[in-house]
Structure 1
């Protein structure tokens, strides 16, 4: 059985990993390649590879002669899979997949091989297969392999140097965390779990974190906080954050500062909330204009607990001569006081686009009335965010808008964001104006706009009664002819019949 030194998946997305696995399987089935997924391939690559080989063999495709072990391990016939397990170069990843096999002889033999691999080559096997095992554990017969790997890691970790007392992730140039930078203090399993903590596969990281936090010994608060700040997965970051704040001494300045500097809003919010326990509630003012609404809410609570007035600070921030932050404008609107409406109205004319957009969103939050003429003019705003906010304000009033004004902005020569917002309003209005705009955009250069237009045309029922008083059959027939390529022969004939046209 081949054993590899590294098992961390390197794919950036599950979909692309699965596509890679299927492509490798096709190459192997066609005899165009003699290799299986590389040792560093992610779990989704191996699972897609195995499924594609089995489905190809099910479809009657002849296997290359001689068939590589990887193909025979994925064969639909159980006796072929069982025989292939005797091959010395059977990939350990595919052997792990067969521990969940539906055929008991195959499953039992694969499990025995995995037991041997964990005993003889524990470090290589744990590294290579753990991310894949976490996927297999969700299968019908996956409990065994998941429990086996977890027990192996727990037993060995208990005998090794505590691996959760690791130095923080090292920082690469530019302030980014270098993957795999943590060094375990010692022990075989300590090194394996240290790598799992930095594994690109988020499920493997979550698994390693849970083992770390339930193992013997006390976790280090600062280490947990640093890892929470560097973690891109919200669920994993939450585990580190909760652990950092639960450890005695977690109210230290270094721990809180690490949490506040995190990318994930929930981690920053936890750090801001912890400022009160550390006697640093006065610092809540500096977080009132955070990009996250959750963090802003925690900052307002913190300022209030310290006896301050968050609303007064927001008004000062919005009136800052250097220019307000759009998040300060949003925070002011979140305070919900009526006296701020006039101030928000003045900000609609601010020279900075994000500030204008935040002011419009704040007025909508306050349910303040904004004239249709003002919002219609903002549809042509050069900032897409402003046009989107104006559209949201116009949606409740779409029936009283002039459709010709909107239709003129669907022209493909205009800015994309103007075309899309006008089309959205016309779709909300419905009727012949929406259908005209949709037909005009079925060949738009922008993929999403084109797809939305085509979906709207296909969803239309094409009944004359649907457009009664708006147009005649001749125009509907012309629009149907322009969009005929979107329908098959039956669908086109059905719509022509609804319009009373000869098929």
Structure 2
């Protein structure tokens, strides 16, 4: 803001009338200092008063801080909170934050309400921290905030605070119904203190790894082994995707046949999580996993690619290069690149050069990085005639 105003009010415009806004952003500290006297009665200038609280000139800084202390009340605090929190990250910016903190701690609870629903994530984090420390929200209100806010920091803080004073069934149920893993995992963990392991069993197949881990912890604390449950679910045609990956997370290599049997399941999510479960069990069979690279579901192809990366050299190079063809689905091309990249330097370069002019930005960027890595290596690495020829082609594409 300062730079923009200074650009508008350069030396060639010194003869023109200066506005209070431009004066508050002037390069001369004496001008900024005088302008602060005019700002007191103009709420539209208050954000610049906040900026001047971190001014590099001490007289300006001191006067701005005195003025902010005068104008900051419960009403202006709500309006100025976003700017104060931004300035707080500057050198000497913490003073304004201290004033905001003090005013809001003394303000009626309802004054915090607009900040709790602010579109500014930093403002919501600040407001919820304040509400938790001051105890101005009930456990039920905190639990609802944990389930409804889209920021992970707010979710975690509110979920923890909702359970801090003791676990109530209503609070736990609200958390268990949350869309985000932070809330659900807190609710599942609370079931241990409520003595309700049977409710935790319902979350053993949750879509979130964090929630599944918490559910396993709770049932184990009550003497229940989750492994037989996972085995039973994976043998059922109605298996959930979370059960397939859950078996991989806590099972044994002897459980692999159950997961191999799910690779032809009609649900793409089950197929993808079954592959992920096999990877967790460190069970790989290139012959059986290779057909999944042609699966119609991108998620299955992605998981199969991850599982095959350690064995990428066992896949034919020419076959993988053909899968980079522009007519193929994007996820198949990305999969082929990742597997070719794992083959090593020369194969990576063979794959990269044709992609330097590719319309897909991501593939084109990866290819460019691969070529530059070779160019910036030890010159001895460039002695291969094939590598030299590929780099000549790459230069021709780049021209």
TM-score, length basis structure 1: 0.72
Which structure 2 residue ranges, 5 or more long, are not aligned?
none
Q: Which residue among 171, 179, 182 is the counterpart of 1:263?
A: 179
Q: CA 1:475–1:280 in 2, change beyond 3 Å: closer, same or farther?
A: closer
Higher relative contact order (Cα pairs below 8 Å, separated by 6+ residues): 1
Is it true that 1:245 corresponds to 2:163 in the alignment? yes
Report deviation, 1:133.
1.4
Q: Which residue number in structure 2 is paired with residue 206 of structure 1? A: 125
1-structure distance, mates of 2:11, 2:328: 54
Aligned partner of 1:236 in structure 2 is 154
Q: Where does residue 501 of structure 1 map in the other structure? A: none
- 8 A contact 1:431–1:467 mirrored in 2: no
Q: CA offset at residue 328 of structure 1? A: 1.0
1:480 is displaced (CA, Å) by 2.5
Alpha-carbon distance in 2 for matches of 1:262, 1:311 = 26
2:56 alignment counterpart: 102
Instruction: Say whether the 8 Å CA contact 2:74–2:103 is kept in structure 1.
Output: no
1:64 and 1:431, CA in 2 relative to 1: closer, same or farther beyond 3 A? farther
**1:104-503 pair list within 5 angstroms:** 104-118=58-72, 122-154=73-105, 156-157=106-107, 160=108, 163=109, 184=110, 192-215=111-134, 219-247=137-165, 250-321=166-237, 323-370=238-285, 372-461=286-375, 465-466=380-381, 471=386, 473-474=388-389, 476-483=391-398, 485=399
CA distance change for structure 1 residues 475 and 442 in 2, over 3 Å: closer, same or farther?
A: closer
Shift in CA distance, 409/355, structure 1 to aligned 2, threshold 3 Å: same
Per mean C-alpha deviation after superposition, the further-off stretch among 361-370 and 134-143 is: 134-143
Change (3 A) 1:81 1:218: closer
- 2: CA distance, partners of 1:387 / 1:367: 18
Separation in 2, partners of 1:285, 1:475: 57
The normalised TM-score by structure 2 is 0.90
Separation in structure 1 between the aligned mates of residue 281 and residue 102 of structure 2, nearest angstrom: 56
Give yes or no for contact 1:117–1:125 (8 Å, CA) kept in 2.
yes
Q: CA deviation at 1:388?
A: 1.8
Q: Displacement, 1:474? A: 4.4
Compared with structure 1, are the counterparts of its residues 456 and 238 closer, same or farther at alpha carbon in structure 2 (3 Å cutoff)?
same
What's the CA shift string for 1:62-92, capped at 9, x where partnerless? 5894343222212222122223223343610
Question: Counterparts of 2:344 and 2:13 in 1: how far apart (Å)?
Answer: 55
- Secondary structure of 2:323's counterpart equals helix
Give distance in 1, aligned partners of 2:9 and 2:92: 22
Distance 1:339-1:152 versus aligned 2 partners, 3 A rule: same
Measured in 2, the distance between the counterparts of 1:461 and 1:262 equals: 51
Verify the 8 A CA contact 1:285 1:299 in the aligned structure 2.
Answer: yes
Q: Equivalent residue of 1:429, what SS? A: coil
Moved more, 428-437 or 417-426: 428-437
Matched positions, count: 395
* Deviation of 1:144 (Å): 2.0
Distance change in 2, residues 1:355/1:251 (3 Å):
same
Cα drift, residue 341 of structure 1:
0.8
- Evaluate the alpha carbon distance shift between residue 253 and residue 470 of structure 1 in structure 2; reply closer, same or farther with a 3 A threshold: farther
Is the CA contact (8 Å cut-off) linking 1:409 and 1:419 kept in structure 2?
yes
> Would you tell me which structure has more helix in proportion to its own residues?
2
User: How far apart in 1 are the matches of 2:47 and 2:387?
Assistant: 65
1:228 and 1:258 mapped to 2: Cα distance? Answer: 9
> Which segment drifts farther, 461-470 or 273-282?
461-470
Offset of residue 251 of structure 1: 2.5
Q: CA deviation at 1:345?
A: 1.2
Alignment of 1:83 with 2:2, yes or no, is no
Q: By how many angstroms is 1:418 displaced? A: 1.0
With 372-381 and 325-334 compared, the bigger mean Cα shift is at: 372-381
Shift of 1:257: 0.6
Contact kept, 8 Å, 2:146 with 2:155, in 1: the verdict is yes
Cα distance in 2 for partners of 1:233, 1:298 equals 21
